[in-house]
Amino acid sequence: MRLLDLNGRSAAARPQNFTVFGPAPAGAGRSALVGRRQSEGAGKEPDLRFNAGYGTDNDRLDRGGRADIAGRVARQAPQGDPNCASKRILDFVLALIGIVFLFPLFIAVAIAVRLETPGPVLFRQSRGGRNGKCFRILKFRTMTCMEDGVEVCQARSGDPRITRVGRVLRRTSFDELPQLFNVICGDMSLVGPRPHALVHDAMYSELITAYSSRQVVKPGITGWAQVNGFRGETREIAAMEGRVQHDLEYIRQWSLWLDIVIIARTVVEILRSRNAC
């Protein structure tokens, strides 16, 4: 399956001045980036609008050194409507089947989480959904903390906050299973861009051109980015740039068949435990 190449120049090749754990010193690398863009004729703002009514971050273009993952994004209408009724029906039916067949596993995991450490079985956190609408995502609790606010630190490899049961759940992605209820409620889809904490949405919207364009569809339990290696922590801005690039590719190339392919590949990714932490 051929997907659009929106990357332009490799993101990894550009200077990186930010990580999710804190900004680089103010102005670091800024003048070089500004000079490069001026020499490339960046005075004219590229048109990042999707056709077919899909809005983008045209007002959040790269001015003065913010990262730009897509360069001049090609004007191309999505091949299908990822917000259509057929996708919603597929989501609802598969999520309901999953809940029924996995119910014994839900019970076993809940007991294990509750017995190991005190606290709730489920972790709830505010995330950005379609069109930026806030919803409460559900996960099995895997850590000793319950961060949800202006300070949210991503889990990383070897994070001491992760419990023993939590490490197993994260490695197998079983901690994500309660999101099947988010799908039933209509807040999420089985496949789509992964939702991030609200504080990270705000941060990356300022750092990455067209970041919020990924929110024209419902967020997913899994996505095109996750099955292509962009799963887990994003220590550097380049990692998030790659994730957003794949999310935009997914939206443009969407079809029910692509959703089925991604679900099948997700099973393979879970068995490989790539980038899990």
| Distance of alpha carbon 74 from alpha carbon 71, whole angstroms | 9
Q: Residues near 192 by Cβ (< 8 Å), separated by ≥ 6?
A: 82, 217, 218, 219, 220, 223, 250
Element (H, E) at 199: helix 198-207
Tens place of pLDDT per residue across the chain (277 aa): 444 444 433 333 333 333 333 344 344 333 332 333 333 333 333 333 333 333 333 333 333 333 443 433 334 556 789 999 999 999 999 999 999 999 999 999 999 999 998 889 999 999 999 998 999 999 999 988 766 655 566 666 677 888 999 999 998 989 999 999 999 999 999 999 999 989 888 889 998 888 989 999 999 999 999 999 887 676 778 888 989 999 999 999 999 999 999 999 998 888 776 555 5
Q: How many other β-carbons are positioned within 10 Å of the β-carbon of residue 91?
A: 23
What is the model's pTM?
0.70
Looking at the DSSP bridge assignments, the partners of residue 191 are: 222
- In the prediction, which pLDDT does 79 show? 72
**Predicted local distance difference test score (pLDDT) of residue 156:** 67
pLDDT for residue 153:
66
One-character DSSP codes across 21-38: TEEPSTTTTHHHHHHHHH
pLDDT for position 120? 92
Give me the residue label for tokens 């300022």.
206
